[in-house]
Amino acid sequence: MTPRDQRFDKAYFDDSIDWKSTNAIPRYIALTKTPPGDVYDDAQLIFVIFIQHYELLFQRYSRGDDLNDLKAFLPEVVRVWEWAYAEEVKVFSAEDMISRGGFDQNRDIYIVSLWLISFALCLDVDDELFSRMVAVADHGGYNPGKDLLFERLVASRIQGRKAASALLYPKPYEKLYYSIDGGERRMIWINEFIQSWYPALKKAYWHERHTRPDAGYFGYWCFEAAAVAKLFNYAPGAYSESEYYPKDLAQYRLKVPF
């Protein structure tokens, strides 16, 4: 197994993945089964379990795990995502829930939701799982229609949703969105997007995590670009050779891989 991400070797990913799988996640889950403590702390703990799960998915991708194995793990990530939301909504106020999961209030949640939806689209997950993912990302009906890019991706599988009229985060996503209907400028837009993607997200919680290996680096992957390229039949270009572009994910089950 050869790592897709070259910033760290396989041993690094093995150690981090093993720690999450055999230590952190089981320990946190066990804590949820102890006598109830503070309900807010419990809900936050379950949200941390969700974070551990999606970061584990991305770490396994970075390590070089087979895409079919990652596809098989994705339903578990979704199950924990649903669990986290179900516990949050029991204890947090409507205002707090918006700040925690509203796409226009929490950019990190927007990015993670976009990544997971993109990952699912690239792996051709079944309709039932995809619908569950969109339902939990919708955050109780708050997020539908909030963002043009998210809705454009979801519309590839689910029609009739509330229409969006703007991009929540034009920097950096407008270039990716414009590329979809960009005609002759399509390749220019997506190439410029992939070049600007990582620098533009310097306020994301995972940015520069490779400088803090103990923080659990999981890779810098622009899954949303792969989903756009696969769904809208992009030709290969400079973007597809970027260190941030998950090329094999975009190629999954394509009849003519590029």
> Using only C-alpha atoms, what is the Rg of the chain?
18
Specify if 147 maps to a domain.
yes
HSE on the CB side for 63, CA within 13 Å? 22
Q: What is the domain count for the chain?
A: 1
pLDDT higher than 60, residue 256: no
3-state DSSP helix/strand/coil percent for the chain, to nearest 5? 65, 0, 35
Is the distance from CB of 34 to CB of 46 less than 8 angstroms? Answer: no
Specify if 1 maps to a domain.
no
Specify if 5 maps to a domain.
no
pTM of the model: 0.96
pLDDT higher than 90, residue 217: yes
Specify if 183 maps to a domain.
yes
Domain extent for 35? 10-250
Mean pLDDT of the chain: 95
pLDDT (tens digit per residue) in 119-159: 999 999 999 999 999 999 999 999 999 999 999 999 999 99
Specify if 3 maps to a domain.
no
